[in-house]
């Protein structure tokens, strides 16, 4: 669902906007379809305040509607890390702490959240502004933000157990892939190993803050270079931006070398 938005109002003014009227029947049906499709608990029907939280999670700031997703995204960030920590502890109890941290970083990354949003078809239920709708390149960021907000809403409605039950089937293949990778998904380490093996020296990273908005998944921009090679990436932290840039450069190297990198 796309809205014209209300970009001219200041944040303080937006905070003064009253909460919306009750959700209409069509939107209620949409939200209940989402809840049922995801196999979430508690079972339908949801209470009015639970539907309101679900609707809030799927309402992006760009829509100009209130309340929007930011508070639930903030909650979802904390819940996601806790749920991932417990998932790793229960499925990989012998994994050293350093490797647990590396695995968790993959399970809570913006890239993983964007993939989750794509898998569940979150665009069918989101409410975004017209400009955001037209910015197709930014849809991965929208999917990541609203997926994290959705996690916050699921926690508020069903608790941590509901979040874990929902995310575990999505985490299992990611976890298996990361653990099968000798670099544990650490693209910087993999790129450094490759570059040194090719006698190209160490990759050079130029990382800068591109946004000051808290929680912005594109807050930092990074360019990584080697002789005759260059790639870039974005992330919510310097580390994430550098990892994404390294992953992008590795992908280019593999493509040009016939996947032998």
Verify whether residue 148 is a known catalytic residue.
Answer: yes
Alpha-carbon span 185 to 171, nearest angstrom: 14
Alpha-carbon span 50 to 224, nearest angstrom: 45
Q: What is the DSSP letter of 162?
A: H
SS3 of 66-82: the string is CCCCHHHHHHHHHHHHH
Task: Report the b/e string of 22-42 with b at 16+ CB within 10 A.
Answer: ebeeebbebbeebbeeeebee
Candidates 77, 118, 135, 181; catalytic one: 77
Phi and psi, residue 260, nearest 5° = -100, 0
Candidates 70, 73, 145, 148; catalytic one: 148
Verify whether residue 77 is a known catalytic residue.
Answer: yes
Of the candidates 134, 164, 172, 173, the one whose C-alpha atom is nearest the C-alpha of residue 40 is 164
Q: Which residues belong to the active site?
A: 77, 148
């Amino acid at each position: 669902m796309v809205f014209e938005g209300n970009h001219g109002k200041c944040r303080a003014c937006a905070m003064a906007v009253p909460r919306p009227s009750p959700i209409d029947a069509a939107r209620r049906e949409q939200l209940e379809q989402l809840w049922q499709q995801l196999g979430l608990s508690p079972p339908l029907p949801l209470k009015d305040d639970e539907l309101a939280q679900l609707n809030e999670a799927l309402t992006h700031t760009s829509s100009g509607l209130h309340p929007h997703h930011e508070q639930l995204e903030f909650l979802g960030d904390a819940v996601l890390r806790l749920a991932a920590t417990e998932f790793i502890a229960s499925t990989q109890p012998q994994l050293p702490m350093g490797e647990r941290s590396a695995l968790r970083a993959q399970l809570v990354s913006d890239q993983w959240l964007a993939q989750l949003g794509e898998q569940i078809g979150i665009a069918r239920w989101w409410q975004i502004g017209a400009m955001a709708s037209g910015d197709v390149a930014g849809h991965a960021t929208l999917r990541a933000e609203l997926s994290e907000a959705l996690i916050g809403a699921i926690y508020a409605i069903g608790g941590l157990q509901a979040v874990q039950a929902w995310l575990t089937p999505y985490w299992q293949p990611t976890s298996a892939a990361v653990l099968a990778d000798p670099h544990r998904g650490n693209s910087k380490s993999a790129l450094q190993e490759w570059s040194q093996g090719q006698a190209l020296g160490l990759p050079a990273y130029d990382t800068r803050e591109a946004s000051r908005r808290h929680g912005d998944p594109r807050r930092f921009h990074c360019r990584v270079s080697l002789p005759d090679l260059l790639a870039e990436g974005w992330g919510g932290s310097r580390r994430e931006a550098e990892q994404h840039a390294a992953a992008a450069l590795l992908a280019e190297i593999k493509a040009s070398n016939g996947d032998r990198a």
